Structure 1
Amino acid sequence: MPKVINKKSIQIASQSIPMQILSSTPGRLRLRVAPSHRQVGEMQRIASALEADPNVNQVRTNIQNGSIVIYHGTQDASLDNIFATLQDLGIILGNITIGKTDAAAEVSNAAADLNNRVKQATNNAVDLRILFPLGLAILAIRQFMIQGLRLERIPWYVLAWYAFDSFIKLHGTNNQQHSSSES
């Protein structure tokens, strides 16, 4: 028998909630909620809306793991109804590796810290966005002087391209941000 739920719990979300399907077997669907949405209230709202579906037998949530397990009828229509309910709640099913992983965040933070130290050491004259392409350009010139135009190991023109490309990419992002903020 369908449960009656209050309108607050079935409001369409103003912000999308990324989730990933971990497993789908007949009668059971397991989802993983993105870390940024693993709050008790939000997961309970989702569980309450799912429990209102007459095809859903039980919903279990685990806040720490961000897991929602839905036990439902084995008909295809019941799974379609569950997906429709999830969509109404603003849930986007897909890969939830939005943002940086812990390792990527640590590497980014270390690079940003090193960049700040280089800026401080040079009184804001240069930073890694200048030094990295410059280092590759110097290495390209060295390779060219030693090897000439021979195509052994890493040719000078590959290093020259990396120097140019990294300079454009490291400075192009900054210019795009300035132009969008001026508009």
Structure 2
Amino acid sequence: MIGEVNSDQKFHFDMETVKSFGSLQVESFGVSHDAIEPMFYIFHSGDKKFVMITDTGYVSDRMKGHIKGADAYLFESNHDIEMLRMGRYPWNVKRRILGDEGHVSNEDAGIAISEVITDKTKRIYLGHLSKDNNMKDLARMSVSQTLAAQDIIVGTQLELFDTDPAVPTDIFTI
């Protein structure tokens, strides 16, 4: 931890709730993951919408309904399926990651993204990339190819970025 957070700056989110912080509203929803009360978040301010969804084994139709049409997304793109299958993890860990309560693959991320973006969507950040079972270039290429198969062209219609947990992303406006 970088430092202590004052207790008046800590907030507990229950699932399926909305909290307001001035003009910013934050909605929380449950995801399919092997953790206690795992959630994803939707941030609203005026007509702008940002979705942050990681640590989920899949993106359900219900989740897609909530996240459709955001201006920007931080979307899990955890692993390349073949890298995971051929990698050093024991089979029980591989099964967990590939399961419904595991993590979204690059391919599944691309499919889900293609189903929820609209003309309003301009930025997608790929997050929670596995150090052992993925590579930034591979994640971007896989998601880009999946989007291209749906006639969604990265670099023309929207921008696609990878993230690194040790490096802050650039500040952007939506």
Same fold? TM cut 0.5: no
Mark the structure with the bigger radius of gyration.
1
Between structures 1 and 2, the one with greater helix share: 1
TM bucket normalised to smaller: under 0.3
